[in-house]
Amino acid sequence: MTPKALTSTDFKFSGQTKFYKGKVRDVYFLKDNRMISIATDRLSAFDVVMPKGIPFKGQILNQLAVKMMNATEDIVPNWMEAAPDPNVTIGKRCEAFKVEMVIRGHLTGHAWREYKSGSRNLCGNRLPDGMQENDPFPTPIITPTTKAEQGAHDEDISKEEILEQGIVSREDYAQLEDYTLKLFERGSKMASEQGLILVDTKYEFGKDEHGKIVLIDEIHTPDSSRYFYLKDFDQRQKQGGHQVQLSKEFAREWLMDNGFQGKEGQQIPDLTDEFIHSVSERYIELFEKITGGKFQKADTSAMEKRIEKNVSRYLR
C-alpha cells in the first residue's frame, strides 16, 4: 500500500488565534505567543507547490531541523520549545528579520550562474577570476537575500544596502553575520563527519518578545541546503566533472527535463507514482546520509488524528 502524504491541515487547537499556510509548512498561532509549525509533505519547486505530496518528506524535514537546532543551541538560541509529533515543532513566535542569511562555501547554483554571466560581484563580495563551477571559495561568503512576500522571488542584496535601507540595524546585522558564520562552521563539521560537504545554506533569524535574536525556521535540511560527497570531490573537480548533489535539486531537474520551470503558460507534468516514490526514497537517503542514523517511518494511516492528538496532549 502506498503511504499517505499530508498535503493540507485544518485543525482547531485550544488557544488558536491565526493560521498561515506556507509553501511547505502550516503554521497555527496561539494566544500565548507560541506557534505550532506542521511540516506537510507538499513539494515546492520554482516557487510553485506541486499538486501531489511526497510521503515522509515533512517528517524528514521536521526531524532533521529539530536535530540540527539541538546541535547548535550552544551557538545561538532558537525558537523551538518541543517536537511532540514527527511532523510538528512548537515554539515561540518571533518577529522575523526581512532578510535571509545565505552563506556559500562553494561557487555553485545561483552564484555560479551569476559568475558564468561575467559578474564578479555577488552581494558585495568580490569573486576571484579563474574559478570553475563548484570550486570552494577561499573563505565562505555571505550573500543575503530580501525575504519576499508570498508568491514573489527573493532578491540578492548586499550588507551595505541592508544597512543603508535600514532593513536591519548595524548592531543586529553584526550579530546575524557572527551567528551565520558560526552555524555554517558547525554544520560543515557535522557534514564532514558523515563524509559530506555543506556547500551552501540559508538561515533565518527573528527577535523574541524580549528583543533577543533567535534562529527560526529549518536549518541544514535538503530543502534549505546543498551537500556534496566529500570522497570524490577533488577528483571530480580536477576532471571538470559534475558533483553529485544531496539536495532537492534532483526534483527540480526532473521537472526541467519534463518541460517545467515555473514559467507562465507551462503545465506541471504528471507526477507519476514512480516519480513520487523515487523522491520519497531520495529524501530518506538524504536524511540517513546527513544524520548517519536510520530513518524510522511514522505511521501515515491517520496522520491528521495522530498530529491532533499529540499536539493537544502537549498543549494540555
% of the chain at pLDDT higher than 90: 86
- Please report the pLDDT score of residue 93 as a whole number: 95
Mean per-residue pLDDT, 162-178: 97
Where is pLDDT greater, at 264 or 101?
A: 101
Q: Residue 264 pLDDT more than 60?
A: yes
**Rounded distance between C-alpha atoms, residue 285 and residue 144, angstroms:** 29
**Rounded distance between C-alpha atoms, residue 39 and residue 18, angstroms:** 17
- Please report the pLDDT score of residue 296 as a whole number: 97
pLDDT-wise least confident of 55-64, 247-256, 293-302: 247-256
**Which residue do the cell numbers 553584526 mark?**
174
E strands present in the chain = 16-21, 25-30, 34-39, 44-45, 48-49, 80-85, 88-92, 95-96, 99-106, 121-122, 125-126, 136-142, 145-146, 196-207, 213-216, 225-229, 245-246
Question: What digits encode the pLDDT tens for the residues 78-96?
Answer: 999 999 999 999 999 999 9
**Rounded distance between C-alpha atoms, residue 220 and residue 199, angstroms:** 10
**Rounded distance between C-alpha atoms, residue 174 and residue 176, angstroms:** 6
pLDDT-wise least confident of 70-74, 152-156, 247-251: 152-156
Nearest 5°: the CA angle 257, 260, 266 is 145
Using CA atoms, how far residue 92 sits from 71, 73, 139, 186, in Å, is: 19, 15, 34, 24
pLDDT-wise least confident of 10-14, 46-50, 246-250: 246-250
Give me the residue spans of the domains in the chain: 98-246
- Please report the pLDDT score of residue 175 as a whole number: 98
Instruction: Record the cell numbers describing residue 187, joined without a space.
Output: 554544520
% of the chain at pLDDT higher than 70: 98
CATH superfamily placement of domain 98-246: ATP-grasp fold, B domain (3.30.470.20)
How many other CB atoms are there within 10 angstroms of residue 67's CB atom? 19
Q: Residue 246 pLDDT more than 60?
A: yes
Q: Residue 2 pLDDT more than 90?
A: no
How long a stretch of residues is the chain? Answer: 316
How many other CB atoms are there within 10 angstroms of residue 166's CB atom? 8
- Work out the mean pLDDT of the chain and round it to a whole number: 94
Q: Which residues have C-beta within 8 Å of that of residue 75, sequence separation ≥ 6?
A: 179, 182, 183, 186
Question: What digits encode the pLDDT tens for the residues 97-127?
Answer: 999 999 999 999 889 999 999 999 999 999 9
- C-beta separation of 23 from 49 below 8 A: yes
Q: Residue 286 pLDDT more than 70?
A: yes
What is the phi/psi pair of residue 272, to 5°?
-70, 160
Instruction: Record the cell numbers describing residue 285, joined without a space.
Output: 537517503
Q: Residue 1 pLDDT more than 70?
A: no
- Please report the pLDDT score of residue 152 as a whole number: 55
- Please report the pLDDT score of residue 150 as a whole number: 55
Question: What digits encode the pLDDT tens for the residues 141-161?
Answer: 999 999 866 555 679 999 999
- Please report the pLDDT score of residue 248 as a whole number: 81
**Rounded distance between C-alpha atoms, residue 158 and residue 170, angstroms:** 13
